[in-house]
């Protein structure tokens, strides 16, 4: 009875695995190449996008330049106006007096807090909700009596504070609104009154009705 050579089976298994790996790599290259050619780059999105940026998933170039990280300049193209009075702006933290706080949060880089395609905690922020405590923990530990008993993760998740614009929580703002009701009126949609401009059904001819018959 002929003996089976175990080495022969090992080599055969090795070449079968090698062939399968080569085929898999070729399929992946073809798949990625087709995605670029057909401009279907959404398949490269590694995770969820924040609610405010969902529309940009169809246009990666709106934020990305090739495979480079998103820069502050790209963010400011859309957000420059709303950050004009940024209370935690880059200019503030380039002042040496506040430099030590950069060890807690990299305020100089937008994506340090707003990095897309990762888990979001709200307002497009991917850092934990207690991020404010990196610099302001004293506020809930006795420095401000009105905040005694507050939790670490409620600064912005409770709707009280906005990292970039906290004018609404300033003393002047609160004093100006003392005569306002505790709750604003419930918003209501106005009733729409639409008066038809035609008393007959238009002809089923797009060229005639919408293009002036010049098509």
pTM for this model (two decimals): 0.59
DSSP string, 10-41: HHHHHHHHHHHHHHHHHHHHHHHHHHHHTT-G
pLDDT reported for residue 202: 65
- Taking the CA atoms of residue 169, residue 174, residue 176 and residue 177 in that order, the dihedral angle to the nearest 10 degrees is 110
pLDDT band for position 189 (50/70/90)?
Answer: confident
Pick the most confident of 5-9, 138-142, 166-170: 138-142
pLDDT in tens, 89-109: 888 888 888 888 888 888 899
Cα dist from 179 to 61, 174, 176, 183, 187, whole Å: 48, 10, 8, 12, 20
pLDDT of residue 41: 60
What mean pLDDT do residues 172-188 have? 75
């Amino acid at each position: 009875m002929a003996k089976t050579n175990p080495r022969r089976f090992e080599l055969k298994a090795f070449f079968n695995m090698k062939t399968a790996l080569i085929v898999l790599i070729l399929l992946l290259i073809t798949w990625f190449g087709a995605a670029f050619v057909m401009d279907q780059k959404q398949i490269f999105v590694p995770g969820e996008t924040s609610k405010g940026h969902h529309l940009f998933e169809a246009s990666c170039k709106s934020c990305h330049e090739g495979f480079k990280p998103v820069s502050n300049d790209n963010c400011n193209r859309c957000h420059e106006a709303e950050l004009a009075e940024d209370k935690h702006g880059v200019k503030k933290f380039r002042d040496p007096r506040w430099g030590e706080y950069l060890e807690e949060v990299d305020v100089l880089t937008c994506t340090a807090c707003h990095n897309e395609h990762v888990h979001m905690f709200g307002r497009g922020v991917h850092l934990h909700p207690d991020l404010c405590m990196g610099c302001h923990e004293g506020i809930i530990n006795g420095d401000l009596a009105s905040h005694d008993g507050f939790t670490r993760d409620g600064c912005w998740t409770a709707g009280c504070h906005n990292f970039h614009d906290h004018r609404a929580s300033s003393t002047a703002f609160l004093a100006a609104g003392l005569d306002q009701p505790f709750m604003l009126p419930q918003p209501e949609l106005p009733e729409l009154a639409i008066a038809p401009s035609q008393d007959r059904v238009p002809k089923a001819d797009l060229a005639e009705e919408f293009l002036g018959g010049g098509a």
